Amino acid sequence: MAKYILGIDEGTTGARTFIIDENSNVLGLAAGELTQHYPRPGWIEHDPMEILTVQYETMRAALRQAKLTPADLTAVAITNQRETALVWEKDTGRPIYNAIVWASRQSTPVVEKWVEKGLADKIEESTGLIPDAYYSASKIAWILDNVEGARERAEKGELLAGTIDTWLIWNLTGRKSFVTDVSNGARTMMMSMEDLDWDAELLEAYGIPRHLLADIVPSDSIFGDIEASFGSPVPIASVLGDQQAGLFGQAAYSPGQCKMTYGTAGVFDINVGAEVARVDGLTASVAWKVQGQKTYEIEGVLFAMGKTMQWLRDDLNLIHAAPDSEWYAGQVPDTGGVYLVPAFTGLGAPAWDPYARAVIAGISNATTRLHIIRAAVESMAYQTRDLVDAFLASGLHAIPELRVDGGAVKNNLLCQLQADILQIPVVRPRISEATVFGTMLLSGLTTGIFESLDHLASQWQAERVFEPQQSKDWADAHYHGWREARELTMGWTKKIGQEI
């Protein structure tokens, strides 16, 4: 009998549902958009009830498209936007405030207070993260501090809190399962990376009661079943945060295997094996716990990847659509010494400078818009080398190749440049949806559709391999120029006395 997997992909801009068979053929795919709420500058929120409605609609639509009913499914898999967090009433299921989205800055003062209390070292040591409002802990604390009566109600046990995976599971299982997986837990700034459990000392220091939080379980657990919401007892058999799901979907099961996702932002993740590892400038995290084995990762986030193409398109009107960048950039052999460093909102990993602002350096009379567009495409490749070099400096593992995914990797010029600048092959997989496929493949492993990780690794296929075509001297000289340009961006708002 055919086996079918339903994959839930709950993202920041929208919700999608995929249905695949055991040969990874896509039989159903539905997508819906989410409303972004911006109550104040720098704040981003979602309506948690809308997340459920939109997700459920896409689940029904994907089933209809595949001509299947829930009873035909073998497994449900979840991947989700990480860090986004909410608090809700245990009895009614009603959120007491919107979900605060990962990118939202409203809880910055909460984190500053924690840092003033001297918690920074403890946080980094236990969770692998550098204290920031990006992670879930301060968002939950902010809700408890700012919604009237919330702290009291939390103490009395009337409330629950969690990340988006937990919210989906609790609702899909008819409020029976209150759990999260280790990859999501790792992004809350509350989980000990060694123990894969909440860090009691941190919870105490944050003022977040343990009974507010879900149990943390392995990524290949049976998280409950969807009978209450979809009428059939289909197990939720995999949960992975989006970036870890991407790493899993790229079949990066061995240390040194890595992926780079070129979306609006850019995210590099590398498998570092069964022990926690730390690398200067990058964050340490948990990749997954699967078949009883813990796997750790190192991650680097770049704030502007495809974002730079959107800027060229929407604000400078230099291109009509992001894919046009490939044609324009290909009209010139090089940038003529121009570098574009897209530090629009500061620099993320590995330089971490909130005061940095973007520059276009090296403009001469001969510079045309073609050079600027090419410099923008090249900036994606140089930023990736920043991360790869930061990792290689640790001496932990060699990086034999880079597996790539995300919207911008359709750009062949970008992939070739990336191989040239890194001096390693860049491999684009046949299945471009690494994230949702990652969690769906894992649920297939949990439920016995696929026999082993080795089997999954053997199924992974390259669509195209980009071999370096330039010399190492060429790569180093061009990268040197980038580093000089990057230097120019640093500390900018401080230098000109502008508030950030």
Which positions lie near ligand ADP, rule CB under 6 A? 13, 263-264, 306-307, 309-310, 322-323, 325-326, 406-408, 410-411
- Pick between residue 18 and residue 198 the one whose CB is nearest to ligand ADP: 18
Is 51:34 a contact under the CB 8 Å cutoff? yes
Within 10 angstroms of residue 12's Cβ, the number of other Cβ atoms is: 18
Minimum Å gap between C-beta 14 and ligand ADP is: 9
- Pick between residue 134 and residue 142 the one whose CB is nearest to ligand ADP: 134
- Pick between residue 81 and residue 221 the one whose CB is nearest to ligand ADP: 81
Is 426:309 a contact under the CB 8 Å cutoff? no
Within 10 angstroms of residue 407's Cβ, the number of other Cβ atoms is: 16
Distance in angstroms (rounded) separating the CA atoms of residues 490 and 346:
8
Rg (CA), the chain: 22
Residues 6+ apart with CB under 8 A from 432: 405, 409, 463
Beta bridge partners of 302: 266
Residue among 367, 314, 321 at smallest CA distance from 340: 367
Within 10 angstroms of residue 401's Cβ, the number of other Cβ atoms is: 18
Distance in angstroms (rounded) separating the CA atoms of residues 286 and 488:
34
C-alpha distances (whole Å) from 435 to each of 9, 28, 116, 424, 432 are 8, 16, 37, 23, 9
- Pick between residue 228 and residue 265 the one whose CB is nearest to ligand ADP: 265
- Pick between residue 36 and residue 498 the one whose CB is nearest to ligand ADP: 36
- Pick between residue 151 and residue 307 the one whose CB is nearest to ligand ADP: 307
Please name the residue that has the structure tokens 């009883």. 292
Minimum Å gap between C-beta 75 and ligand ADP is: 24
Q: Which amino acid is at 109?
A: P
- Pick between residue 328 and residue 479 the one whose CB is nearest to ligand ADP: 328
Minimum Å gap between C-beta 9 and ligand ADP is: 10
Minimum Å gap between C-beta 40 and ligand ADP is: 23
Dihedral in degrees, nearest 10, Cα atoms 57, 59, 60, 61: 80
- Pick between residue 81 and residue 163 the one whose CB is nearest to ligand ADP: 81
SS3 of 252, please?
coil
- Pick between residue 406 and residue 429 the one whose CB is nearest to ligand ADP: 406
Q: Which amino acid is at 240?
A: L
Minimum Å gap between C-beta 305 and ligand ADP is: 7
Minimum Å gap between C-beta 307 and ligand ADP is: 6
Distance in angstroms (rounded) separating the CA atoms of residues 125 and 493:
30
Minimum Å gap between C-beta 374 and ligand ADP is: 12
- Pick between residue 139 and residue 374 the one whose CB is nearest to ligand ADP: 374
Q: Angle CA(442)–CA(283)–CA(452) in degrees, nearest 5?
A: 20
Residues 6+ apart with CB under 8 A from 482: 339, 341, 378, 382, 385
- Pick between residue 74 and residue 435 the one whose CB is nearest to ligand ADP: 435
Is 167:10 a contact under the CB 8 Å cutoff? no
Minimum Å gap between C-beta 426 and ligand ADP is: 14
Beta bridge partners of 286: 296
- Buried b / exposed e across 348-362, counting CB within 10 Å, b at 16+? bbbbebebbbbbbbb
Is 426:413 a contact under the CB 8 Å cutoff? no
- Pick between residue 323 and residue 354 the one whose CB is nearest to ligand ADP: 323
- Pick between residue 269 and residue 326 the one whose CB is nearest to ligand ADP: 326
Residue among 274, 268, 277, 324 at smallest CA distance from 299: 268
Minimum Å gap between C-beta 65 and ligand ADP is: 21
Please name the residue that has the structure tokens 């940038």. 335
C-alpha distances (whole Å) from 218 to each of 82, 181, 195 are 16, 6, 12
